[in-house]
Every structure is written in structure tokens, then in C-alpha cells.
Chains A and B, each alone.
Chain A
């Protein structure tokens, strides 16, 4: 007995593999995680739009997604929460959507302009939802992580799983290479959920989801809240599904780059390329630290995974794929926006200036004390103009040594300010006050231990220092405050 199956999406177009008759997937081994099926139908070739077709189509798509996962991540033995089975509901009612809620994967139907759309009939949509479940099985902490980028990564991961499920199918790979030998052209694999988007387009033509999401894109990273909350079909907006396209773009470009490096460009090497990229994606997803800039965090974790597994063979491909979407993974991360600041666009010309509200926000984040000075200087780095803000912070040295009671050190901490989406943003790392204080205390302690501070203005502290004067720092009164200052460097240890 056989079934009817649509390997991609009912509206993927004439270049995609058409509805085909094939043998059904075997049931999963009892030792592995599985689905609980409902409203089952007898096996057989059934027409789209029938309950029988939908049951077998949804089952086949879900099992195909798990196959694609297991090919790179190993056997799936448990879902999140040690669950062995999750419900697969091919038609849970009326909606133009699909959901994963840790107990089930639910798909829906809705009639629009005389056509009934079934989200469970799209392998793209089913693979996307199963992708949420797969990621949740290895990173349950991402479920409720409170940053837009972690939510967007979850959505992107679902889209990446749809791409990988498609590329795990040999017929799909052959059809794709007939469309584009380099993958660098819009196609039915990189486009996700065309059928649902068509329904939405008919219902709400200007809805953002009226255009399918695309992994082949040129979207550039900017801090998400600088984007509008709404936008026309396919526009990049401050919304998790839309913003996830930036990461999907990085992943798709990585597949294309790895494929470009293959000596022969065949459907077999396309599969190898996709699996190499997928292995790195899963490894990166497993270990990336949760942070507001989570895309960058995953990209860096993928780079480390590549070092470990492939001796860094794909390092350049990963770096370039992310850089094409303005996500910096290497030393150029110094110039990547990490945190948005209050206020309007900064002036980044020859005499850079920050708006008062930007200064206030920055001072608050730096935990600047009243009276602390923030000086602004121009900075030109890698062809870009920035404002380098120096926070002159006074740090008490009383905890370091009893003879330093009432003495403080002043340190100038630089913060690079640029813009993201027209708003002021911290670029790269922001000095962390506690770390700064500890570093200063450790340094001054080493000066004390080595007799490099003239503590009372006369006597070296140890016999060796009497023999070889080593004083580099003295205590002076600056602005009415006893302040440790360097007076010289010396040439011998």
C-alpha cells in the first residue's frame, strides 16, 4: 500500500516536486520518541482535501522532519520534559496557523475565498513546528527566554528544519539544482509555508505574513526594537517570525557556501553540505549562551563547534555567511551593535555628540556617580565613524590596603557608540563596573606587593626596593581628593 505525499508545500510552485505516490514511513522504533496520532485513516492513496490525505500527509511530513534531525543530531529518544510521545493533530479546528505547545503539534484548517487551507498539509509548516519541538528537546531553557532574538532564533530554527527536511529528499535536491545550481536564487526550498501565506494574502493582503518567509534574503541585522512593529508583506519587522529570517539567511548562506566549496556540485554533495551546516547549527544551538544578541551567540558557538569537529574547515564560510547579514562573529564584533540607548541619532562626524538623553542612559548603564565625567572623542574604525565615550570613574582603594584608606584611582573606561537602525547603540562590549573595580584593585594590590607605590612620600617598603627603587605611583591630591597617580614607568622588573 502507498500514500499520496507533497514533499514541500501545496503552493510551492511548478518547480517543486509535485504530489507523489510513495510508500509510507515505517513506524518509529519503540526505543525512540514518537508521535501520538489521532483520527487515523486507513492507508491508501487519497486526494488532497480529504481527511485521509491530511492524516497521511501530516504523519509523513512529521516523520520526515525527525529523519532530517536524526541524520545530524543522533536518535531522538525523548521530547522535552522526558516525554516519549507528543500528539500530532493534523486538524485541530479553525485557524490559519499551527502550534507547538510541549504536549502537541497542532494544525488547522480555514476556508478563505472558497478554498480551504490546511496547515497540516504543508511539509514546510509541519517541519517548522516539529523543529520547535526538536530544539525544545535540547534547549528547554529557550522556551521562555525573555529576549526577542531567542524567540526569533526558535522561529528561524523551525524554518531551518523545513529547509533541511526538504533537502533530505533526493527528488527535492534534484529539482532545486535544476532551478539554481548555486542556491543563490529564490526557490521553493528557501521559501517557507507558501500555502498559508497565500491564504493570509487573500484574507489580509497587507499582512506581513502575506508573503512567505525566505531564507534566501539580504536582510541585515539591526537591534530588533529599532525596526517597526508592523510592515507590509515580507518586510523585516520587530516580530519573532520576521526577525528570524536574518538567522535563516545566515544558515541558508552557510549551506550555499559549503556547497560552493565542494569539488562536484551534485545532489549528493548538496546533501553533504546541508548536513554539515545542520550539524554545526545543532551543535551551536546546544551550547550558545542566552544573551540579548543571541544570533551572534549561536554563530560563535557554531564556529567553536566547527573548530572541534572539523578543525575549523568551515570557519570562513560561517563568518562570511553571518557577516553578510551584519552579524559579526570575529574581532569585528567590536563594531557590532549590542545594546540600544535612549535618544535620537548620534552625531558621528568629526566632532561627535550624543543627545542628552543618550548621555543620561549611558551614565546610568555605566553606574556613573554624580559628577563623573563622560568625554566624547571621534573614533574611525574599519571605515566607520563612531563616538568613543570615556567614563572617568573614581574607584576607592580603601579595600586594597590600610595605608590607602581615603585614596582612590581614576580610570578612563571607553565605550564605543554607533548607531543601529538610526538609533544610538553601544558597539561591542560595555565596561562592567564590578569587573572594572576588581581589576583596578588587583592591579593596585600588585603595586603594593611590589613596592611600586610611594605610600608615605619617603620610604621604600622592602629591602629589595631600598636597593633598587621601583616606585612608579604616588598619591597626590587632585581636585581635593587623594588620588593614586603614575609618575613613571621603569625599565627593569
Chain B
């Protein structure tokens, strides 16, 4: 199994706005899966994550999005 990562690839223009910054195709695909399944989400006003979310969606001052794991879930 190759241990190296794929070279960075800019997402297609149609996806660029929605897809958070990621390092490789596999990483970007993982982030898309998290978002599609409601597992990456912004914190709610009370500071908690929505039910089912395992990753916090964070947007920096440049509008760059990234996900950070906060917990694992059973489902």
C-alpha cells in the first residue's frame, strides 16, 4: 500500500465554494462525506454540536473551512 499522499489538487470551480480546505483527494472526499452525513457541523449558539455531529466545521478569517474532530459517535 502506498504510504504517500496524492499531490494536492485544486477542487473543480463548482465545488470550490462548498468544499473545505483539504490536503488531498482522499482527505477532501472524507470531508465531503462528513458534511453529507451531517457529521461535520458548526457549533450551536450554546456551544454544543448538533446531535450526530462528530466534527466541528470551523471557518477562519479568510473564509477557509476546515473540520476538527470533537468526538466519536455510536451511529
Classify the interface of chain B: helix, strand, loop or mixed: loop
A254 close to chain B: CB less than 8 A: no
Can you show 11 pairs from A to B with CB atoms below 8 A apart?
A95-B51, A97-B52, A101-B72, A146-B26, A225-B26, A240-B39, A292-B26, A333-B1, A339-B26, A364-B7, A365-B6
CB contact under 8 A between A238 and B73, given known A147-B27, A430-B2: no
Cα distance, A365 to B27, chains bound together (Å): 15
CB contact under 8 A between A196 and B75, given known A151-B30, A230-B36, A238-B36: yes
A154 close to chain B: CB less than 8 A: yes
Contacts of A160 in B (CB 8 A): none
Q: B interface vs A, CB < 8 Å?
A: 1-7, 9, 22-27, 29-33, 36-37, 39, 51-52, 54, 68-75
Contact A144 B33 (CB under 8 A): no
The chain B residue sitting closest to A124, CB to CB, is: B74
Cα distance, A228 to B31, chains bound together (Å): 14
A96 close to chain B: CB less than 8 A: yes
Give the segment of A182-190, A293-301, A402-410, A451-459 that binds chain B.
A293-301
A367 close to chain B: CB less than 8 A: yes
Contacts of B2 in A (CB 8 A): 291, 293, 338-339, 429-430, 432
User: Which of B9, B25, B33, B72 sits near A239, CB closer than 8 Å?
Assistant: B33
User: Which of B29, B69, B74 sits near A193, CB closer than 8 Å?
Assistant: B74
Q: A interface vs B, CB < 8 Å?
A: 95-102, 119, 125, 128-129, 132, 143-144, 146-148, 151, 154-155, 158, 193, 196, 200, 209, 224-225, 229-230, 238-241, 289, 291-293, 296-297, 300, 333, 338-340, 361, 364-365, 367, 429-430, 432
6 closest A-B pairs by CB: A101-B71, A229-B36, A225-B29, A292-B26, A98-B74, A146-B27
The chain B residue sitting closest to A207, CB to CB, is: B75
Q: Give the Cβ gap from B46 to chain A, nearest Cβ, in Å.
A: 12
Q: Give the Cβ gap from B8 to chain A, nearest Cβ, in Å.
A: 10
Contacts of A241 in B (CB 8 A): 73, 75
